[in-house]
């Protein structure tokens, strides 16, 4: 029996016609870029991962083998997969295989734990799970069994870093596809979903209780990738460093690894943006371009300056680096101005979102524009409105809420009617929750947000999600999570708690860890208060809570700051 396509809120007919007519939507699968390069330059390097180097030909062979195996085992269009892999060649090979086989994946960050994975599994009911045995959740089979209980459809589980008894991801990518299935030519052939249907799900930063999923189609995502690759000047000589989580929209599509594959360049993987790890990689592999969050750029600037001041320090050859992209959170103008001087390369500011719209400063923009704005949209057909609380457009230079629609901005979260009712107006404009100003040139400046979210160095935390979990502690009567200013990360989180009886921050931390929350979502500070301040309409007055945080309280100890590994 044919499975139903995955539910999607489509763009209106007149717009889809126009996006096709203008050449944005080309009705090709997202694997097109890599497969094209595998044909024209099979021996060039596509991925460098530790000591391994994979050519375009090898990557294609491996992902096609995996796609065929998956198809042979009865998986295909209408099926979904939950994937959690670290930064590795296998991540890209898996993603490409699932796209080729028509299986829509959710690619969880490696930092995610049961809280997040359960939420994704409940939404997509995966038939397939692809995970890494080195992740603490998958050291034994207990959690896999509980995921199977959540999703009745889940019966295929593949492991990276597999143990002997496991179905090994590596074997499924291996060359002996026919002999493994014993069928040969009779095997059903893999086929991607229709280009207008869901290709995979991106993860929303979110501001509600449950992590939300953004369905992305081949057509819309591929357009954003092709156009981004052009804006960023990618070519076969591009060597792109991916040192943040590979599944994140920034690292995947702005222009990210998929943009690099489209252009025939090389993706060089690193586990995190620590300069001690990344600088030698840049020197060894002659990296030309890196995508970073602001806190990582600040660490790089500091590391270069410290090395310059220290005559005994080993020299770091960063001369191959031509472009550093910074995005995901606000980047201080003073830091932006230092980038060309200290790192000796061009800076590009990127303001994007998993939901769609991506803005770039252009490589040839006036330096003042690059230092002081977060760029302008990819497409002439990105409709951007900056509006006041009545929905009326504000003048250029004035602050308003960002609302957008266009050829690669989604039309609705997966199975979330309430969130969609809040996030969209009746014209299909998506309200991102950002407060921005637009310059007459079309460049945007991000000046704040209205969404109830904390942006911890690019890692997004939906306040409501954590508040709901805090409230599950029997002694917590009320909870509110707010942002504290932080010198390196931009923001950290502080939980205000009204508790019953004596309760210690460590106990709350243990409670959240037990619920399986990703570490970056654990409150950095906890404050116990007697009463929640309320607004006139009786809601928690978060503004008052933020104001009550004194400067001294908010200051962070730079020496103790963990390296931001996730976006």
Between 144 and 363, whose beta carbon lies closer to ligand J2J? 363
432, 437, 493, 566: residue in contact with ligand J2J (rule CB under 6 A): 432
Residues near 1 by beta carbon (within 8 Å), at least 6 away in sequence: none
Judged by CB under 6 A, the stretch of 4-12, 126-134, 348-356, 502-510 that binds ligand J2J is: 348-356
Contact flag: residue 374 with ligand J2J (CB under 6 A): yes
Is residue 250 close enough to count as binding ligand J2J by CB under 6 A?
A: yes
Question: Toward ligand J2J, which CB reaches closer, 172 or 429?
Answer: 429
**Least distance from C-beta 252 to ligand J2J, angstroms?**
8
Question: 280 Cβ partners below 8 Å, 6+ apart?
Answer: 316
Q: What's the min distance (Å) between Cβ of 268 and ligand J2J?
A: 19
Member of 195, 245, 255, 352 binding ligand J2J (CB under 6 A):
352
Paired tokens of 434: 């950002």
Q: Could you tell me which stretch among 24-32, 248-256, 269-277, 534-542 binds ligand J2J (CB under 6 A)?
A: 248-256
490 touching ligand J2J, by CB under 6 A = no
- Sole binder of ligand J2J in the list 172, 261, 300, 351 (CB under 6 A): 351
Question: x/- string (CB under 6 A) for ligand J2J, residues 78-107?
Answer: ------------------------------
Among 80, 330, 348, 540, binds ligand J2J (CB under 6 A): 330
Residues in the chain: 567
Structure tokens at 139: 């050291």
Q: How far is the CB of 204 from ligand J2J (least distance, A)?
A: 6
The closest alpha carbon to 465, from 522, 416, 510, 549, belongs to 522
Q: Which two tokens stand for residue 167?
A: 């179905």
DSSP output for 483-520: EEEETTTEEEEEEEEEESS---HHHHHHHHHHTT--GG
> From the CB of residue 256, how many other CB atoms can be counted at a distance below 10 Å?
27
Q: Which of 8, 108, 128, 354 binds ligand J2J (CB under 6 A)?
A: 354
Calculate Rg over the CA atoms of the chain.
23
Size of the site for ligand J2J (CB under 6 A): 24
Interface with ligand J2J includes 457 (CB under 6 A)?
no
- Smallest distance, Å, CB 387 to ligand J2J? 16
For position 328 contacting ligand J2J by CB under 6 A, the verdict is: yes
Identify which of residues 330 and 346 has a Cβ nearer to ligand J2J in the complex: 330
When binding is defined by CB under 6 A, the residue of 353, 462, 469, 470 that contacts ligand J2J is: 353
**510 Cβ contact partners less than 8 Å away, ≥ 6 residues apart:** none
Query: Restricting to residues 382-401, which ones interact with ligand J2J according to CB under 6 A?
Result: none
Per CB under 6 A, 406 contacts ligand J2J: no
- Does 338 participate in binding ligand J2J (rule CB under 6 A)? no
> With respect to ligand J2J, which residue has the nearer C-beta, 353 or 545?
353
Angle at 488 (CA atoms; ends 482, 490), nearest 5 degrees: 35
Report CA-CA distances (Å) from 279 to 272, 284, 290, 315, 546. Answer: 11, 9, 11, 10, 38
Q: Is 249 in the site for ligand J2J (CB under 6 A)?
A: yes
Nearer to ligand J2J (CB atom), residue 254 or residue 295:
254
Residue 196 CB, shortest distance to ligand J2J, in Å, is: 21
Q: For residue 217, what is the enclosing H or E element?
A: strand 213-217
Residue 182's region, left for phi above 0, alpha for psi from -120 to 50, else beta, is left
Pair 89, 60: CB distance under 8 Å: no
Work out whether strand 383-387 and strand 376-377 pair parallel, antiparallel, or are unpaired: unpaired
Going across the sheet that includes 430-438, the strands are 383-387, 399-405, 430-438, 444-449
Q: Whose Cβ is closer to ligand J2J: residue 299's or residue 476's?
A: 299
DSSP-assigned letters across all residues of 345-398 = SEEEEEEEETTEEEEE--TTS-HHHHHH---EES-TT-EEEEE-TTSPBPPTTS
Q: Taking the complex as a whole, how short is the minimal distance between the CB of residue 432 and ligand J2J, in angstroms?
A: 4
Q: How far is CA 535 from the centre of its chain?
A: 34
For 205, 366, 375, 446, the CA distances from 336, given in Å and listed in that order, are 24, 13, 13, 14
Binders of ligand J2J in range 117-156 (CB under 6 A):
none
Nearer to ligand J2J, 160 or 449 (CB): 449
Q: Which of 288, 349, 409, 566 forms a contact with ligand J2J (CB under 6 A)?
A: 349
Report in angstroms how near the CB of residue 280 gets to ligand J2J at its nearest. Answer: 26
Q: Is 254 in the site for ligand J2J (CB under 6 A)?
A: yes
Q: Hey, how many other C-beta atoms are within 10 angstroms of the C-beta on 388?
A: 12
Stretch that binds ligand J2J, among 83-91, 245-253, 404-412, 419-427 (CB under 6 A): 245-253
- What phi, psi does 471 have (nearest 5°)? -65, -15
Kindly list the residues in this chain that would bind ligand J2J in the complex (CB under 6 A). Answer: 205, 249-250, 253-254, 327-330, 349-354, 358, 374, 432, 434, 446, 449, 455, 460, 567
């Amino acid at each position: 029996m044919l499975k139903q396509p995955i539910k999607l809120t489509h763009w209106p007919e007149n717009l889809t016609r126009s996006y096709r007519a203008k050449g944005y939507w080309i009705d090709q699968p997202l694997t097109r870029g890599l497969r094209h390069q595998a044909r024209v330059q099979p021996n060039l390097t596509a991925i460098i991962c530790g000591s391994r180097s994979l050519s375009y030909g090898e990557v294609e062979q491996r992902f096609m083998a995996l796609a065929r195996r998956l198809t042979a085992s009865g998986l295909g269009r209408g099926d979904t997969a939950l994937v959690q892999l670290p930064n590795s060649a296998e991540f890209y090979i898996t993603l490409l295989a699932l796209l080729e086989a028509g299986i829509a994946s959710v690619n969880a960050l490696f930092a995610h734990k049961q809280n997040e994975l359960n939420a994704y599994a409940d939404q997509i009911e995966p038939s397939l799970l692809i995970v890494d045995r080195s992740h603490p959740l998958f050291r034994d089979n207990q959690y896999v069994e509980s995921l199977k209980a959540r999703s009745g459809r889940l019966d295929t589980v593949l492991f990276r870093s597999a143990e002997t008894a496991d179905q090994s991801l590596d074997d499924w990518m291996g060359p002996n596809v026919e002999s493994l299935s014993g069928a040969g030519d009779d095997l059903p052939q893999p086929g991607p979903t229709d280009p207008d249907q869901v290709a995979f799900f991106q993860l929303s930063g979110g501001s509600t209780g449950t992590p939300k999923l953004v369905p992305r189609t081949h057509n819309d995502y591929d357009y954003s990738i092709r156009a981004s690759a052009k804006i960023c000047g990618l070519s076969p000589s591009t060597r792109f460093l991916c040192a943040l989580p590979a599944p994140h929209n920034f690292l995947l599509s702005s222009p990210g690894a998929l943009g690099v594959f489209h252009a025939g360049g090389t993706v060089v993987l690193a586990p995190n943006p620590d300069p001690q790890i990344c600088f030698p990689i840049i020197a060894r592999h002659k990296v030309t371009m890196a995508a970073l969050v602001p806190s990582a750029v600040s660490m790089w600037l500091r590391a270069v300056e410290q090395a310059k001041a220290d005559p005994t320090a080993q020299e770091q050859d960063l001369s191959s680096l031509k472009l550093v992209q910074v995005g995901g959170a606000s980047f201080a103008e003073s830091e932006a101005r230092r980038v060309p001087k200290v790192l000796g390369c061009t800076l590009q500011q990127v303001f994007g979102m998993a939901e769609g719209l991506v803005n770039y400063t252009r490589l040839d923009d006036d330096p003042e524009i690059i230092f002081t704005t977060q760029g302008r949209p990819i497409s002439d057909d990105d409709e951007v409105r900056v509006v006041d609380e009545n929905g009326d457009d504000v003048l250029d230079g004035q602050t308003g809420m960002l609302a957008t629609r266009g050829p690669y901005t989604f039309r609705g979260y997966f199975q979330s009617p309430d969130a969609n009712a809040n996030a969209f107006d009746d014209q299909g404009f998506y309200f991102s929750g950002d407060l921005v100003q637009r310059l007459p040139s079309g460049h945007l400046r991000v000046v704040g947000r209205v969404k109830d979210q904390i942006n911890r160095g690019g890692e997004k935390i939906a306040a409501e999600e954590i508040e709901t979990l805090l409230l599950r502690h029997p002694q917590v009567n009320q909870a509110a999570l707010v942002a504290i200013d932080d010198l390196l990360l931009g923001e950290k989180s502080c939980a205000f708690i009204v508790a019953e009886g004596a309760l210690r921050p460590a106990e709350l931390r243990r409670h959240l860890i037990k619920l399986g929350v990703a570490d970056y979502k654990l409150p950095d500070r906890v404050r116990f208060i007697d009463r929640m301040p309320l607004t006139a309409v009786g809601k928690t007055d978060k503004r008052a809570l933020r104001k009550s945080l004194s400067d001294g309280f908010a200051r962070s100890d730079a020496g103790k700051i963990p390296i931001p590994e996730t976006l």
